[in-house]
Amino acid sequence: MRSKITLFLKAIAFTVVLSAGVAIHAQKVDAPFTRSEVMIPMRDGVRLHTFIYVPTGPEEKRPILFLRTPYGTGDLSPAQLAGAVADLVPDGYIIVNQDIRGRFKSEGQFVMLRQPRDPKVKGAIDESTDAYDTIDYLLKNTSNNGRVGMAGTSYGAWLTVMAALDPHPALKAAVPQASPADMWIGDDFHHNGAFRLSYGLEYTYMMESSKEMTDTASLVNNYDVYQWYLDLGPLANVDAKYFKKGLPTWNDFVNHPDYDAFWKRQGFAPWLNRVTVPTLNVAGWWDQEDFYGPITIYELLERHDTQNKNFLVVGPWNHGGWSRSDGRKLGPVDFGSETSVYYRKNVMAKFLAHYLKDAPDPNLPEALTFRTGANEWERHNAWPPKQGIANRKLYFRANGTLSFDAPPDKGVGAYDSYISDPANPVPYRQRPILLKSGWTTWQVNDQRFASDRPDVFDWSTEPLAEDVTVSGKITANLFASTTGTDSDWIVKLIDVYPENYTADPTMSGYQLMIAGDVLRGRYRNSREKPEPVPANSIQHYQIGFPANDHDFKKGHRILVQVQSSWFPLIDRNPQTFVENIFLAKASDFRTATQRVYRSGEQASYIAMPVVETGK
């Protein structure tokens, strides 16, 4: 999200992240476009600010690449745009960049993630109708071949999916990259009911404090963001001290803490019931903002994909990493090849050219994933993979060990424990946590800082005697108890490099998180109806990770960390059940003793789809 906060040129283009602030992939090129600036009327009379870039040279019928953004189209010169989309310039697209309703120079009212309209309401509008009306205008006012593609990242990707719900007949291809799919289950604002505090607060302030972009440093002004949020106290203080009920999205957070009709209607599950246009869904393994979304959108569409028009690509990227630099490294992790360049030239460009210009079929598999660890692209005829997979259990064992062998029946009731204190929550990355740096790569940070804390428990395998490759969906199964009446459970699956890693000594002992997520205990049985956790009672918690494709190499170790806070990425759980955590009082926050069980029928484990040797 902070990649959306730091403005860079206010430039939004296709190979850009389509969210302001991320360094764009740019080359110095001539200016092969002429630019016009127009206000395009919508069906209700509102006009949307739009730049149209037409390739120079002989007039001909060209396809249109249409981009929409809430972050500002900026004032890109033709040369700047050409540098930003250098991979697409040779294909001769008319490129259209538009501020959505109510943002920057566009008229109308901005509504964050505006819910799809009720088709029974005459004259109702949504992002789908605005895209439809714009495409209709473009077809009539440019020299085009009658075909339009849409693309975007993050919010821009969500707008692309919205346009495809009820598409204009001319929309022939969609490339949503890191689109959110459900803001309560697994994307920007919540994960499994736990509120993404620093993201939700700062993003809401940035987007709704003005028609343009408000610098969050004017609100979160402490050198160490962790300390600012800790000093903030309970979430009820946000309105009392700062927002005064003036920001609509924050009001929605407070008024809809559970998975009610508001969140369900905003999510894509009710709407993605057909594949309307060829769709290339793009995700990054270490996307710090929207990884759940693209995987879920692909899966929802795949249920209805009878014509093989729905595809998935996942690479070793953070949020928007496919469009920045060459994609060889993320933080200190080296993937051995230019993964972003490969995607832009061999996947994205060829996909668009095929559907918009009748170029050769790019021969995409159902799913194309970059297998980290092994550092190679894998072609799958289904996702998750169905063939050559063994479903194995990695058990928590005594003395902080992990094993694929089940624990013995004796020792029933064995457990490991730690104390969780809301006054001293576990930071999600090493302190000091800075407002404007470190956010984009925190998921590949070395996790040894957390291992040193007494409120984080580790279990580890011995160095692996052979590679262990996991491909598909990993699920953590915790059998755990708490002395409180509510609790968060965070599980991280980590690849531990050898202590003497000769290939790169700086990575010796490095703890690389492969998967990590949170479950709020009150929602263990129902997302819609939270209930207290019975104190001192063993409960079964399942935490699913959207997707993984990783090779734990021979000599590495597999490590699991369990903790009950992840601050301020996730808000603090009071560990005392209250009806609405957004209204909790300071007195509700209490220390709790957490126990994770590891014997008999209550043996905690990680369910792993392991690729069978030779398959």
pLDDT in tens, 295-325: 999 999 999 999 999 999 999 999 999 998 8
pLDDT of residue 85: 85
Question: How far is it, in rounded angstroms, from Cα 368 to Cα 365?
Answer: 6
* pLDDT reading at 25 higher than 80: no
**β-bridge partners, 393:** 607
Q: Is 214 helix (H, G, I), strand (E, B) or coil?
A: coil
CB-CB contact of 130 with 101 (8 Å): yes
Tell the burial category of 250 from Cβ atoms under 10 Å away from its Cβ (0-12, 13-18, 19+).
buried
| Host H or E run for residue 135 | helix 127-141
CATH architecture group of domain 190-263: Orthogonal Bundle (1.10)
* pLDDT reading at 419 higher than 80: yes
pLDDT in tens, 149-198: 999 999 999 999 999 999 999 999 999 999 999 999 999 999 999 999 99
pLDDT of residue 144: 97
Whether domain 389-611 has CATH 3.40.570.10: the reply is no
pLDDT over 70 for what percent of the chain? 94
pLDDT of residue 614: 66
Over residues 572-588, mean pLDDT: 98
Q: How confident is the model at residue 613 (pLDDT cuts 50, 70, 90)?
A: confident
Question: How far is it, in rounded angstroms, from Cα 65 to Cα 85?
Answer: 11
Q: Which two tokens mark 257?
A: 């803490």
Question: How far is it, in rounded angstroms, from Cα 429 to Cα 118?
Answer: 42
Q: How confident is the model at residue 252 (pLDDT cuts 50, 70, 90)?
A: very high
pLDDT in tens, 334-344: 999 999 999 99
CB neighbours of residue 23 within 10 Å: 16
Q: What is the mean pLDDT of the chain?
A: 93
Which residues have CB under 8 Å from 17's CB, separation 6+?
A: 3, 24, 153, 154, 319, 320, 323, 324
Q: How confident is the model at residue 412 (pLDDT cuts 50, 70, 90)?
A: confident
185 φ, ψ (degrees, to nearest 5)? -80, -45
pLDDT of residue 10: 28
Q: How confident is the model at residue 32 (pLDDT cuts 50, 70, 90)?
A: confident
Over residues 39-63, mean pLDDT: 95
pLDDT of residue 30: 55
Q: How confident is the model at residue 75 (pLDDT cuts 50, 70, 90)?
A: confident
pLDDT over 90 for what percent of the chain? 89
Closest by CA to 556, choosing from 500, 505, 504, is 500
pLDDT in tens, 205-239: 999 999 999 999 999 999 999 999 999 999 999 99
Over residues 5-9, mean pLDDT: 29
Give the single-character DSSP code of 24. P
Q: Please measure the distance between the N-terminal and C-terminal CA atoms of the chain and give it in whole angstroms.
A: 39
* pLDDT reading at 580 higher than 60: yes
Spacing of C-alpha 187 from chain mean position = 6
Spacing of C-alpha 543 from chain mean position = 16
pLDDT in tens, 113-160: 999 999 899 999 999 999 999 999 999 999 999 999 999 999 999 999
Question: How far is it, in rounded angstroms, from Cα 300 to Cα 310?
Answer: 10
CATH number given to 2-181+267-380: 3.40.50.1820
Domain boundaries, the chain: 2-181+267-380, 190-263, 389-611
CB-CB contact of 401 with 559 (8 Å): no
